Structures are given as structure tokens and as C-alpha cells.
Amino acid sequence: MPLKKNPSKPGPGKGVADEDGRLFRNAVGETRPLAIDTVEPPRRRPRPTARFSHLDERAVLRESLEAPAHAMEIENGSALSYRHPSVNLKTMRRLARGGISVQGEIDLHGMTSAEAKESLKAFVAQAILRGHTCVRIVHGKGLRSGQRGPVLKRDVNRWLRRWEPVLAFVSARQADGGTGAVYVLLRKNT
């Protein structure tokens, strides 16, 4: 198809544009439009998922649901206290004053959380077998735990609340360790 020249007066550089257009049409030659004018969009690649990140999030969620909120917010100097509904307030006050004879003691200082849990389970089981109803657990105040806070104190608080033989516990008197220890009231072995 011959290129028609514009009858109007050509401006500066007009001849170059006409020449380019002519060369383009010669190079393309005879063309026909495509029958299908819709193009399928490229498929989106799935977003990568971090498997272990999801597992960590689930573990944190599970742990937060298992432990009551007040068990998670323990600070170095805060006192611990738990009472099963079957324990009356008079018994609880007596326990808090140190009025119930302590029949056994365990010191968890320097243990990892896993070691402390196993030692504490064995200690409580042995105390029940011996017929002890009141024991003292020294967990420490967490002063050397840094930003993590009192790790063993928080763990002991959580574990004791879940264990069936534990009826009550309360932070000890200052002379017996204060907020770094608890008196624990156990069920009688039947």
C-alpha cells in the first residue's frame, strides 16, 4: 500500500517521520488481526509460607491458652498464690503464715526448666508416697534471669496449678525464702 503524502506544508523534520513510517509498513508487510483478542493473565505464584514460623506461632498460642493470664505476668518480687475450691480460706491463711508443718523441701536453683520439671514431678510423687501434706519448693526470684524474668518461678506457678495432687500453694514467709519459694499443700495419699 503506497504511502500518501500529507498535502499540508511539511514542518521541520517531517520528512524523517514519513520515511520511518514507510520503512515500518514495508517491514511489517501484510498483517491480519488475531481472531482471539483476550489474553489469559499470568498465573500468580503462591506466596511462600514459613512452616516453622507457623509451628512456633501455634506453640505460643497453645501455651498462652493453657496458662492463665496472671501466670504469664510474674515479676521478680510478686507473690504466688493458688487455692483449689475445696480448700477453705482459713487453711489458706494458715498455709501463708507458715502454720502448717513443712515435711519436705526441694531447691530448683540452677536447673533448666526441663530439669526442674522432672525433679519437681519426682519430688511431689515421693512426698505423696511418704504421706506429706505440706512441702516447700524453692524456685528462686529470677534475679539472674535478665529480661526473660523469673523463668523457674513462672514455670513452677504454671505446673503446680495443673497437677492434680496440688490443693494450694502460696509464697513463703520471708524467713523461708519469701517470693523465691512456695509452701505447697498436697492431697492426702488414700
pLDDT tens-digit readout, 53-66? 666 777 766 665 66
Share of the chain above pLDDT 70, in %: 72
How far is CA 50 from its chain centroid?
Answer: 16
- Indicate the pLDDT class of residue 9, thresholds 50, 70 and 90: very low
Handedness of CA 170, 171, 176, 180 (dihedral sign): positive
In a domain, 107, yes or no: yes
Q: Give me the torsion for CA of 106, 108, 111, 113, rounded to 10°.
A: 110
So what's the pLDDT on residue 25? 81
Share of the chain above pLDDT 90, in %: 40
So what's the pLDDT on residue 19? 87
CB atoms within 10 A of CB 61: 10
For 57-79, what is the mean pLDDT? 59
So what's the pLDDT on residue 71? 44
So what's the pLDDT on residue 69? 44
Could you tell me the pTM of the whole model?
A: 0.58
Instruction: Give CA–CA dist 78/180, Å, rounded.
Output: 9
In a domain, 37, yes or no: no
pLDDT digits (tens, 9 = 90+) for 28-45: 887 776 677 677 777 888
CATH of the domain at 67: 3.30.1370.110
In a domain, 75, yes or no: yes
Parent domain of 71 = 51-186
pLDDT digits (tens, 9 = 90+) for 91-101: 999 999 999 99
Domains in the chain, number:
1
